[in-house]
């Protein structure tokens, strides 16, 4: 612990499990005062109790909920230094089976949720003359994709475009806007819903030969939230174990034989 976020107030949205919970834990370790927000109230409150944070149930697709979450941070701590919009959904659906309502639902949470978080945080951060606005994007969409992720990929590519626009518009207020693009991360959901064979296939496609941990992603968020990143805005950090690097499947360099 180096107190990189000592006395900073952070709101983490989508924090009940996985990457979001790891971000909150990492921020807490570095001295931040925390408010957790999530649509899942039971797991969200449990995570907040475990970490030592306030909790507010939040549907980030609704601007009023985003404003209320920011309001709780201001009520409890008097300011808001960092907001992380990590909430996202990723139903598997081929495009031909995706209805307009399905599409809109993914966009509402993943993409509009980022807009709502930024809009809600902007007012207090403008008054402070400083702030960090951070989003969870993905390598899926901006760089790669797979069948069944049309709406998810589009939403994450949209987040990267929004990051650049918001960073430019908010720069004169002393606010930075950045994101993290995780690759394949071994979250509870992956462990629950994917087979060992599926996970092994993903590991074989990653040069570092393992799936990332939620803490790997949280460490990138910590850097962007800290003073170390005071001159970084409008960009993303890829955390994928080198998954984007190979041109093909035959990428492993074997050590020379004796």
Contact 179, 229 (CB under 8 A): no
- Rg of the Cα trace of the chain? 18
Q: State the catalytic residue, choosing from 90, 152, 173, 231.
A: 152
CA angle 117, 16, 51 (to 5 degrees): 105
- Catalytic status, residue 152: yes
Distance CA 19, CA 25 (A): 10
Query: Both ends of the chain: CA-CA distance in Å?
Result: 44
Beta strands in the chain (DSSP E): 9-13, 33-38, 54-57, 82-85, 131-136, 175-182, 236-239
CA angle 222, 223, 229 (to 5 degrees): 135
- Which residues are known catalytic residues? 152
């Amino acid at each position: 612990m180096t107190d990189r976020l000592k006395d900073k107030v952070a709101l983490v949205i989508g924090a009940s499990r996985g990457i979001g919970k790891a971000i909150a834990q990492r921020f807490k370790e570095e001295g931040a005062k925390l408010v957790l927000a999530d649509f899942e109230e039971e797991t969200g409150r449990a995570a907040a109790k475990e970490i030592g944070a306030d909790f507010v149930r939040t549907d980030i697709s609704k601007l009023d909920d985003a404003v209320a979450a920011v309001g709780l941070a201001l009520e409890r701590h008097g300011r808001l230094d960092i907001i992380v919009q990590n909430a996202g959904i990723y139903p598997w659906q081929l495009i031909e089976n995706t209805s307009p309502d399905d599409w809109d639902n993914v966009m509402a949470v993943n993409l509009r949720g980022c807009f709502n978080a930024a809009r809600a945080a902007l007012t207090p951060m403008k008054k402070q003359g400083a702030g960090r606005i951070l989003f969870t994007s993905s390598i899926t969409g901006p760089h790669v994709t797979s069948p069944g992720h049309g709406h998810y990929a589009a939403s994450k590519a949209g987040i990267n475009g929004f990051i650049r626009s918001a960073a430019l518009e908010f720069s004169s207020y002393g606010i930075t806007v950045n994101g993290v693009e995780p690759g394949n991360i071994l979250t509870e959901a992956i462990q629950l819903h994917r087979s060992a064979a599926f996970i092994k296939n993903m590991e074989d496609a990653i040069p570092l030969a393992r799936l990332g941990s939620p803490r790997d992603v949280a460490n990138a968020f910590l850097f962007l939230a800290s003073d170390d990143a005071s001159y970084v805005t409008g960009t993303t950090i890829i955390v994928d174990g080198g998954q984007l690097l190979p041109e093909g499947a035959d990428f492993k360099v074997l050590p020379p034989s004796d």
